[in-house]
Amino acid sequence: MHPQICFQVKMNESFVIGLDGLKAGSSHFEGHADGKFFGEYENSEILDADLKVGTDIEKSASSAQIDCHVEGTVTVACDRCLADLSLPVCQDIRLTVRYGQEEAAAEEDGREVVVLATRDEVLDLGQILYDYVCTSLPLIRVHPEGECDPEVVKYLGTTAREPAPETESENPFASLKTLLEKK
């Protein structure tokens, strides 16, 4: 590792890469994101984490290609019983970093484009890592059937509610079905 590169998580610091300190060519870094990392972000739904982050950087004179592979687990609250729920995470992050004042393209060759103003500016992967992990999580986060906290479930009445089948007379859209059948 080069002395100008910081790729570790400390309280109040993030995954930071000093691209100016890297020589042209390939570099590889390993990192770890835990609950302290996610705790730095306000309103984080992630209570704890154990994520390994492998980062490969291919640097050239005008840009850098960054490929991150994030794998491990995060702990969130179950939407049903509020007990801790461990969810697997396996996410790939592909970035192209360019220098200058140009407008960033949304995506290029399946890569998100990040534009840094100057060559000596550092790239903070912390926010990018946080965003990708959060968006990889399912919208509904519940334990598998029967694994919710039994003390909470007894107050809910049932573990899951199936909607009662509607009869045609109760369904306001039943008359519309006849329009389709007439065609």
In a domain, 165, yes or no: no
How do 84-99 and 111-116 pair as beta strands? Answer: parallel
In a domain, 166, yes or no: no
In a domain, 37, yes or no: yes
Give the per-residue pLDDT at 163. 54
Question: Does 51 score more than 60 pLDDT?
Answer: yes
Question: Does 120 score more than 70 pLDDT?
Answer: no
Number of domains into which the chain is organized: 1
In a domain, 84, yes or no: yes
Give the per-residue pLDDT at 33. 93
Question: Does 180 score more than 50 pLDDT?
Answer: yes
Question: Does 25 score more than 80 pLDDT?
Answer: yes
Question: Does 12 score more than 80 pLDDT?
Answer: no
Taken in order 39, 44, 48, 52, is the CA torsion positive or negative? negative
Rounded to whole angstroms, the Cα distance separating 152 from 143 reads: 13
In a domain, 50, yes or no: yes
Q: pLDDT tens, 126-175?
A: 999 999 999 999 999 999 998 999 988 888 865 455 555 666 667 777 77
Domain encompassing residue 89: 16-156
In a domain, 87, yes or no: yes
Rounded to whole angstroms, the Cα distance separating 20 from 4 reads: 8
In a domain, 27, yes or no: yes
pLDDT classification of 49: cutoffs 50, 70, 90: very high
The secondary structure of the chain, three-state, reads: CCCCCECCCCCCCCCEECHHHCCCEEEEEEEEEEHHHHHCCCCCCCCEEEEEEEEEEEECCCEEEEEEEEEEEEEEECCCCCCEEEEEEEEEEEEEEEECCCCCCCEECCEEEEEECCCCCCEEHHHHHHHHHHHHCCCCCCCCCCCCCHHHHHHHCCCCCCCCCCCCCCCCCHHHHHHHHHC
pTM above 0.85, yes or no: no
Look at 12 and 37; give whichever has higher pLDDT. 37
Q: Of 19-33, 78-92, 160-174, which gets the smallest average pLDDT?
A: 160-174
